């Protein structure tokens, strides 16, 4: 599950299993079943722009709105406010909404908590499209939002009630390229073996030594 500016939910399959998702060839003879264009960081940025417009219109800058967003969302329990983040064309439509609004909910914390809950619902819906029988054992989260938004991460984990781990490094793309290089150069017998070796090395003190 990649949670960043864009977002995807994927699962590996041992054989070709067509369904209501994209299927892509993967390494080691496997297939990647995936759902892309799930509303995530781009949609959250739209909310940030809305909330920042008044200050910026007065010539004031907000250097790091996310620090306050994270703190406020973490303090706000799930409520009646609902947010649909499909503000642009996505796997969940192209019209978003903020609904069931009460005066006390029109604050940063409840708004973003509702947005995070919406994201978690979307990810759960994607997972059930990919694997209705729920054969997964744990989640692998990657991307800046998953790493830096504890309230969002908690909302996701509450939906799945499964084990989980974070991608072993913030630069997960570079780490993936390292695994591919190990496999293609013969330093690992397969991409899976290379991925396991890289992950185990990253979990040791000092991280990966390339």
Q: What is the DSSP letter of 161?
A: -
Same domain, 101 and 127: yes
- In a domain, residue 206? The reply is yes
- In a domain, residue 35? The reply is no
* Integer Cα distance of 10 and 143 in angstroms: 14
Determine the pLDDT at residue 209. Answer: 52
What string of pLDDT tens digits covers the 210 residues of the chain? Answer: 999 998 999 999 999 989 999 999 999 999 999 999 999 999 999 999 999 999 999 999 898 999 999 999 999 988 899 999 999 999 999 999 999 999 999 999 999 999 999 999 999 999 999 988 877 788 999 998 999 999 999 999 999 888 898 887 667 778 888 889 998 999 898 988 988 888 888 777 666 554
Residues forming a β-bridge with 10: 34
- In a domain, residue 74? The reply is yes
Same domain, 174 and 158: no
Same domain, 162 and 172: no
Same domain, 58 and 98: yes
Ramachandran bin of 209, using left for φ above 0, alpha for ψ from -120 to 50, beta for the remaining angles: beta
Same domain, 147 and 48: yes
* Integer Cα distance of 35 and 16 in angstroms: 16
Same domain, 124 and 52: yes
Same domain, 161 and 175: no
Same domain, 53 and 115: yes
Q: What is the domain count for the chain?
A: 2
Same domain, 87 and 185: no
Largest Cα–Cα distance in the chain?
Answer: 62
* Integer Cα distance of 184 and 173 in angstroms: 16
Determine the pLDDT at residue 210. Answer: 46
Same domain, 124 and 75: yes
Determine the pLDDT at residue 78. Answer: 87
Domain that holds residue 173: 168-210
- 188-195 long-range Cβ contacts below 8 angstroms, 24+ apart: 190/27, 190/28, 191/27, 191/28, 192/27, 192/28
Same domain, 102 and 85: yes
Q: Between helices 65-75 and 108-130, what is the axis angle to 10°?
A: 80
User: Where residue 49 sits, what CATH number does that domain have?
Assistant: 3.30.420.40
140: phi then psi, degrees, rounded to nearest 5: -120, 115
Determine the pLDDT at residue 119. Answer: 96
Determine the pLDDT at residue 167. Answer: 80
Same domain, 125 and 209: no
* Integer Cα distance of 66 and 74 in angstroms: 12
């Amino acid at each position: 599950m990649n949670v960043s500016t864009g977002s995807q939910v994927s699962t590996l399959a041992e054989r070709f299993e067509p369904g209501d998702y994209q299927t892509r060839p993967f390494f080691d003879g496997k297939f990647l079943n995936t759902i892309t264009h799930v509303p995530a960081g781009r949609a959250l940025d739209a909310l940030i722009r809305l909330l920042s417009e008044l200050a910026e219109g007065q010539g004031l800058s907000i250097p790091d709105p996310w620090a306050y967003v994270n703190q406020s969302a973490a303090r706000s329990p799930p409520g009646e406010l609902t947010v649909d983040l499909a503000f642009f064309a996505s796997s969940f439509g192209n019209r978003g909404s903020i609904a069931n609004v009460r005066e006390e909910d029109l604050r940063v914390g409840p708004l973003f908590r509702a947005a995070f809950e919406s994201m978690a619902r979307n990810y759960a819906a994607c997972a059930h499209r990919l694997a209705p029988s729920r054969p997964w054992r744990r989640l692998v989260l990657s991307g800046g939002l998953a790493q830096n938004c504890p309230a969002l991460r908690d909302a996701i984990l509450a939906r799945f009630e499964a084990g989980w781990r974070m991608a072993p490094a913030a630069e997960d793309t570079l780490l993936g390229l390292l695994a591919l290089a190990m496999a293609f150069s013969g330093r690992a017998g397969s991409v899976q073996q290379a991925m396991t070796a890289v992950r185990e090395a990253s979990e040791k003190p000092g991280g990966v030594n390339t």
